[in-house]
Chains A and B, each alone.
Chain A
Amino acid sequence: MQLIRNRLRTATCALLAVAGTAAAEGDWKADGAILGYSEAGRTSVFEPIASLKRNLPNGQFLTGKIVLDVMTGASPNGAMPTDHAQTFTGASGRSRRSGQNESEHRRAPTVVQAGDMPILPFHDQRASLDLDYGRPLFRTLKADVSGHASIESDYVSRGTSLTFNWDTPNRLTTFTLAGGANFDLVEPIGGGKPIALNLNTDSTRHGSADKTVLDGMFGVSRVLSRRWLVGVNYGYGRDRGYLTEPYKVVSILDPNGSTTAYRYENRPDLRSRQSAFFTSAYQLRQDVIHISYRYYWDTWGVKSHTADVKYRYELPHSHYLEPNLRYYSQSAASFFTYGLMDGAPLPHYATSDYRYGQMASTTIGLKYGIPVSGGDFNIRAEYMRQTGKSHPSQAVGVQKDFNLFPAVNVMILQIGYSRNF
């Protein structure tokens, strides 16, 4: 039967007098971007990304991506503001500056004024590599396997994932099933992980620690009409191992709420996470409106909502403008605390990491794209404001006088270029 196609192709070539198959266009696609992220008064990240995709015969493809992150600035170490100055040695995490040796690094203390949220300086770099290979298995089933490796001064991560996409015969519905596993190794600066919930004056260190992250996802997407595409998915994940931040502390409070000491934080060594996600893309005459909503919940007590809307506004000459609005809110982890009372029995778990507290953020952004030969160039700017409970009811004594969650203002700027050749 295969003979038919070859004979037919030859006959058709003779009829149309075409000079054989033209050189295939669009076999390569290169993407590059530079992202700048900056929290006012806190952390800044500079992130260049480059990726290259090659289309191979029979629907196969291979992608390679490199991401570099340079992170500097300061971030909260978990200690709360209090009614006197606080002094911390070492960093809230991350590496020494290059050129500094171990003892120099430890010698530089940070002094935080009374009433200020303690933030400690840090500096780190991360490099990661992702490789991805995909191919169709049958006419309507595609498989994708990927590998990931990343390295930071105190952290190594390796992972792999497998994704299947199956189209129904009319191609209007696609089912997706994906699974991934990541194995991470933490080697905290200073020789190892501290003993959980011990005073931070205790310099005992345990060595390295590891963590396994497993993820699974099942999704369905469907073309509802010429203009409308929707999708839903459900995700389940399990993290097991050392899930604590080795450099973060929890404030110990006297009966007046004033900080007298600090203990290392502790998080459970197991977490199950679930999420439900809905997305919709609807095309008006030329423009497209995207909305999505995600609900997340886990066994640490964190529940969150994310709602996002983007409007892609097509301009003449294939330029486009895409404003975007996102709202995020989360509840605090069950073991999140603003401080432990001195002398009270220690809980099993405690963290003051603001990222596990009750918080909300609103992001407003704008992206502008310009087509260039074979590809496009785009620039995106976003402003995000993160707020939390500045004066929670759990605040003790003098803590009530201070802002326990100063708002964080973030600016993001990204420039990207993508090209097919």
Chain B
Amino acid sequence: MASPCEVLLDSVSHRDASEILDNAATEALRIEHKFSRYRSDSVIQKINTSGGNPVEVDDETAKLLDYAAECYSISDGLFDVTSGVLRKVWKFDGSDCVPEQSAIEQLLPLIGWSKVAWQNPFVTLPAGMEIDFGGIGKEYAVDTTASLIRERTNSSFVVNYGGDLFVSGPRFHGKFWVIGVDDPNATGENAIGAIRVPRGGIATSGDARRFILKDGIRYSHILNPKTGWPVADAPHSVTVIAETCVEAGILSTLAMLQGPNSESFLEDQQVQFWANR
């Protein structure tokens, strides 16, 4: 997941905690390996190297593809799991390297969920296109880990994978877990906010370190799949609280894609959020 992962369990015996943590770690690694873009044994790798041929997928992958399709529809194409190819021309390393418009235009035909043929259990990706679950993989891992833990214990817990979280409920003595919102300018050291969370998933989109600065314009690393360009005037980061981590993740991503309207978009959705500009 490329981030520190932790599980907090309230009032659970040491032995039970050990067992639960082992299960959580196993599940997180399982998901990472299965949906990694890099591993040769991952489902994603299999799909992305299929050269235009249909690939049969299992139940879990099918559900994720269904979800990707639904989010594509709900967001009018702004959430698109085929947009990962853009990383070939966009390097968000704080430099001022903005790719040529022609380079972007060469990739645009390889982007678009509508070009994917998905008929459970077969998915067919045109040659040159790629699927990337990076936008929901970590949040999905948080929620499935949470379900697993819930089967093993009634105690209150928090699953925190690199800042994407799920809070199961109030702690043993009735008080809520307190979650700090990291200050991207002093990450790990300062909080820019702190909230008491009764229950729910929390996800953050955006990262102050990954951006391009050119001619005084700051380009965030959230790319609009329709234009191939980063969204202008997006907040540095958006954190959303929803019922599940996956839902929070989609909402925070969609919010960022609204650029200057991020906040009003989230207010319309009536969710608790922070936008850090």
Residues on A facing B (Cβ under 8 Å)? 1-2, 4-5, 7-9, 11-12, 14-18, 21, 24-26, 29, 139, 169-172, 223, 225-226, 318, 371, 373-376, 418-420
**Could you say which of A2, A16, A25, A26 has the most chain B C-beta atoms within 10 Å of its C-beta?**
A16
If the complex has contacts A26-B170, A170-B192, A226-B190, are A5 and B271 also in contact, measured as CB distance less than 8 A? yes
Docked pose: A375 CA to B173 CA in angstroms? 4
Docked pose: A284 CA to B190 CA in angstroms? 16
If the complex has contacts A15-B140, A16-B144, A420-B170, are A7 and B193 also in contact, measured as CB distance less than 8 A? no
| B105 within 8 A of partner (CB) | no
> Contact: A318 with B169, CB < 8 Å?
no
If the complex has contacts A12-B67, A171-B195, are A1 and B269 also in contact, measured as CB distance less than 8 A? yes
> Contact: A25 with B169, CB < 8 Å?
yes
Contact mask B121-165 → A, CB, 8 Å, 1/0? Answer: 000000000000000000010011001000000000000000000
> Contact: B174 with A420, CB < 8 Å?
yes
Contact mask B210-242 → A, CB, 8 Å, 1/0? Answer: 000000000000000000000000000000000
Residues of A contacting B: mostly: mixed
If the complex has contacts A25-B170, A172-B192, are A2 and B63 also in contact, measured as CB distance less than 8 A? no
If the complex has contacts A1-B265, A226-B180, A375-B174, are A11 and B71 also in contact, measured as CB distance less than 8 A? yes
Residues on B facing A (Cβ under 8 Å)? 11, 63-64, 66-67, 70-71, 74-75, 140, 143-144, 147, 169-170, 172-174, 180, 190-195, 198-199, 243-244, 246-247, 250-251, 254, 265, 267-272, 274-276
> Contact: B194 with A171, CB < 8 Å?
yes
> Contact: B270 with A5, CB < 8 Å?
yes
Cβ distance A148 to chain B, nearest Cβ, rounded Å? 26
Cβ distance A204 to chain B, nearest Cβ, rounded Å? 57
> Contact: B191 with A226, CB < 8 Å?
yes
Among all A-B residue pairs, the 10 with the closest Cβ atoms? A420-B174, A1-B268, A11-B70, A371-B173, A171-B193, A15-B67, A12-B247, A26-B170, A5-B269, A170-B193
> Contact: B170 with A14, CB < 8 Å?
no
Of A14, A17, A318, the contact of B172 (CB 8 Å cutoff)? A318
Which residues on the B side are within 8 Å of A225 (C-beta)? 190-191
A3 nearest in chain B by CB position? B74
Which residues on the B side are within 8 Å of A374 (C-beta)? 172-174
Which residues on the B side are within 8 Å of A375 (C-beta)? 173-174
> Contact: A7 with B198, CB < 8 Å?
no
Docked pose: A1 CA to B170 CA in angstroms? 31
Cβ distance B249 to chain A, nearest Cβ, rounded Å? 10
> Contact: A318 with B143, CB < 8 Å?
no
Which residues on the B side are within 8 Å of A15 (C-beta)? 63-64, 66-67, 140, 246
Cβ distance A263 to chain B, nearest Cβ, rounded Å? 55
What are 17 residue pairs bridging A and B, where the CB atoms are less than 8 Å apart in the complex? Answer: A1-B265, A2-B268, A5-B251, A7-B70, A12-B243, A15-B246, A16-B143, A16-B144, A25-B199, A29-B174, A170-B193, A170-B274, A172-B192, A226-B180, A371-B172, A376-B174, A419-B174
Docked pose: A172 CA to B250 CA in angstroms? 26
> Contact: B173 with A376, CB < 8 Å?
yes
> Contact: B74 with A4, CB < 8 Å?
yes
Docked pose: A317 CA to B233 CA in angstroms? 48
If the complex has contacts A14-B63, A171-B193, A318-B11, are A9 and B174 also in contact, measured as CB distance less than 8 A? no
> Contact: B147 with A18, CB < 8 Å?
yes
If the complex has contacts A12-B244, A371-B173, are A7 and B74 also in contact, measured as CB distance less than 8 A? yes
Cβ distance A26 to chain B, nearest Cβ, rounded Å? 5
Cβ distance B99 to chain A, nearest Cβ, rounded Å? 31
Which residues on the B side are within 8 Å of A4 (C-beta)? 74-75, 254, 269
Cβ distance B14 to chain A, nearest Cβ, rounded Å? 12
If the complex has contacts A7-B70, A8-B251, A226-B180, are A318 and B192 also in contact, measured as CB distance less than 8 A? no
Docked pose: A318 CA to B75 CA in angstroms? 46
If the complex has contacts A170-B274, A371-B172, are A26 and B144 also in contact, measured as CB distance less than 8 A? no
Cβ distance B202 to chain A, nearest Cβ, rounded Å? 14
A5 nearest in chain B by CB position? B269
Cβ distance B205 to chain A, nearest Cβ, rounded Å? 15
Of A18, A376, A419, the contact of B244 (CB 8 Å cutoff)? A18
Docked pose: A381 CA to B276 CA in angstroms? 46
**Could you say which of B66, B140, B243 has the most chain A C-beta atoms within 10 Å of its C-beta?**
B243
Which residues on the B side are within 8 Å of A371 (C-beta)? 172-173
Docked pose: A375 CA to B172 CA in angstroms? 7
A24 nearest in chain B by CB position? B199
**Could you say which of B173, B247, B275 has the most chain A C-beta atoms within 10 Å of its C-beta?**
B173
**Could you say which of A2, A5, A9, A373 has the most chain B C-beta atoms within 10 Å of its C-beta?**
A5
A225 nearest in chain B by CB position? B190
Which residues on the B side are within 8 Å of A139 (C-beta)? 267, 272
Docked pose: A2 CA to B269 CA in angstroms? 6
Which residues on the A side are within 8 Å of B192 (C-beta)? 170, 172
If the complex has contacts A8-B251, A16-B143, A170-B193, are A418 and B174 also in contact, measured as CB distance less than 8 A? yes
Which residues on the B side are within 8 Å of A223 (C-beta)? 191, 193-194
Docked pose: A1 CA to B75 CA in angstroms? 10
Docked pose: A318 CA to B171 CA in angstroms? 11
B198 nearest in chain A by CB position? A26
A375 nearest in chain B by CB position? B174
Cβ distance B61 to chain A, nearest Cβ, rounded Å? 11
Docked pose: A73 CA to B172 CA in angstroms? 42
**Could you say which of A11, A15, A17, A373 has the most chain B C-beta atoms within 10 Å of its C-beta?**
A15
Which residues on the A side are within 8 Å of B66 (C-beta)? 11, 14-15
Which residues on the A side are within 8 Å of B11 (C-beta)? 318
> Contact: A8 with B143, CB < 8 Å?
no
Which residues on the A side are within 8 Å of B199 (C-beta)? 24-25
> Contact: A12 with B173, CB < 8 Å?
no
Of A2, A18, A171, A318, the contact of B274 (CB 8 Å cutoff)? A171
Cβ distance B160 to chain A, nearest Cβ, rounded Å? 15
Cβ distance B167 to chain A, nearest Cβ, rounded Å? 12
Which residues on the A side are within 8 Å of B144 (C-beta)? 16
